[in-house]
Amino acid sequence: MKHDTPCPPAVIPPLTRLGELAVEDFLRDYWQQQPLLVRQAFPGFELPLSADELAGLACDTDTARLVLERGGRHPWELRSGPIAEDAFAGLPETHWTLLVNDCEKMVPELQAIVQPFRFIPDWRIDDLMISYAAPGGSVGPHVDAYDVFLLQAQGRRRWQISSQPCTPDNFIPDLDLRVMQAFSPEQEWVLEPGDLLYLPPGVPHYGVAMGECMTCSIGFRAPSQAELLERLLGHLVEQPALARRFADPGRALQDDPARISNADLERLTELLMGALPDRATVKHWLQQELGPDGQ
């Protein structure tokens, strides 16, 4: 694989329907609820990026990953970007995958692929990941914590999904990838260029390239409480008002110095509770943090 200059962008009309479904019906009945396969959601789709150009991006970014199910130092070897250009010459003929996140940020023309999915608000859209897979290439059966639209761009890929819950102990140990050990497929499709598969969070899925193929993954943010709280607290601790320290003038003599008295616990609790923002402040912060300027 070599890298060249990206091609001009494809012109993709906005999505108002997903197959026979109006977008409004999709949001009501499928979004975050159940998978949906849409045949020829983008008839005649042509990806404005070749495999060689994708390899070029992978050489220049740490958002790239190379997954070797076979032919690596061990099964399911993960190599993180930037990928050395000469690494591609030593790859086996089958069973490896190159993935590059944030493609639309590196090649603005690729925003045209994200544009049709803006029936979901911008703050929920995460990125466009593009993958190239050699025959048999895969990242293994796994689950994602976010919504994703899988748009087949070139070649054919077989997708299998399951409704089985994925427990923390159902992953191959000692891997940098979270590959499921036990996976029981319940539905299976082979996607061709222009076909689209929507998967909500937590659905186990397994995609395998049927020959060389490229796939676009339009992913959506699903922030956790912990992630939002960490970001909010990071914002709060920078505020000058939170420099106020614990104070205890006129404190009573304490019999046991090893114990935190109830009075001290009350003062400490009031100090912390006083630092927490009210609902209006949290809403304002979310607007700033997740809006166009904060992303």
Locate 120 and state its tokens.
């979901």
Q: What count of Cα atoms within 13 Å lies in the side-chain half-sphere of residue 46? A: 8
pLDDT in tens, 145-166: 999 999 999 999 999 999 988 8
Mean pLDDT of 6-30: 79
Query: Does the pLDDT at position 9 exceed 70?
Result: no
- Give the whole-angstrom CA distance, residue 171 versus residue 87: 28
Domains and CATH numbers, the chain: 17-220 (2.60.120.650), 225-290 (no CATH)
The predicted-structure confidence for 279-289, as pLDDT tens digits, reads as follows 999 999 999 99
**Cα gap 116→42, rounded to integer Å:** 10
Give pLDDT, residue 8. 44
Distances (CA, A) of 280 to 95, 145, 230, 285: 52, 29, 18, 9
Tell me which DSSP letter residue 222 carries. Answer: -
The 10s digit of each residue's pLDDT in 269-281 is 999 999 999 999 9
pLDDT at residue 6 is higher than 70: no
Q: What is the pLDDT of residue 294?
A: 57
Encode 94-110: b = buried (16+ Cβ within 10 Å), e = exposed: bbbbbbbbbbbebbeeb
Q: What is the reported pLDDT for 242?
A: 87
HSE-up of 53 (CA within 13 Å, CB side)? 15
Residue in 49, 27, 16 with CA at minimum distance from that of residue 198: 27
Task: Determine the pLDDT at residue 1.
Answer: 45
What average pLDDT score do residues 19-25 get?
A: 94
Using one digit for the tens of pLDDT, what is the confidence trace for 171-197? 999 999 999 999 999 999 999 999 999
pLDDT at 165: 85
78-113: per-residue pLDDT in tens?
999 999 999 999 999 999 999 999 999 999 999 999
